[in-house]
Amino acid sequence: NAGVTQTPKFQVLKTGQSMTLQCAQDMNHEYMSWYRQDPGMGLRLIHYSVGAGITDQGEVPNGYNVSRSTTEDFPLRLLSAAPSQTSVYFCASSYSGSTNEKLFFGSGTQLSVL
């Protein structure tokens, strides 16, 4: 059971480039989410999804797009990368998103934008 898998683990981009961070889970979880973590800080929610075809914004959605075409996958797209998006990105999932459920996190993607 792989849990939550994130790829790539590391990425360097130039300002203005686009890329997609991948997140997949094999636990049949309806709820998936993306967080970013800046140095010395906690995690901030970017976007989340409560099921295929349904997404919503978190605290810091600007500059990021998401879609949820399948239950398993929840990619995060940066359309035009900016240095302010240099961060570590974590994907998390839970069965339905209820506040009584625990979140399962991936191991993260470290992104640097030059």
Partner 1 sequence: DAKTTQPNSMESNEEEPVHLPCNHSTISGTDYIHWYRQLPSQGPEYVIHGLTSNVNNRMASLAIAEDRKSSTLILHRATLRDAAVYYCILRVPGSARQLTFGSGTQLTVLP
In the complex, the residues that contact partner 1 under the rule CB under 8 A are 4, 31, 33, 35, 40-45, 48, 50, 56, 58-59, 90, 92, 97-100, 102-108
Residues 6+ apart with CB under 8 A from 77: 18, 19, 20, 21, 64, 65, 66, 67
User: Least distance (Å) from partner 1 to the CB of residue 30?
Assistant: 10
Asked whether 10 and 109 are in contact (CB, 8 A), the reply is: yes
Q: Which is nearer to partner 1, 51 or 75 (CB)?
A: 51
Q: Which is nearer to partner 1, 28 or 98 (CB)?
A: 98
Which tokens sit at 89?
Answer: 């990105």
The distance of closest approach from Cβ of residue 80 to partner 1 in the complex, given in angstroms and rounded to an integer, is 26
Number of other CB atoms surrounding residue 45 within 10 Å: 16
Shortest distance, CB of residue 29 to partner 1, whole angstroms? 12
- Evaluate whether 7 touches 22 at the Cβ level (below 8 Å): yes
- Smallest distance, partner 1 to C-beta of residue 34, A: 12
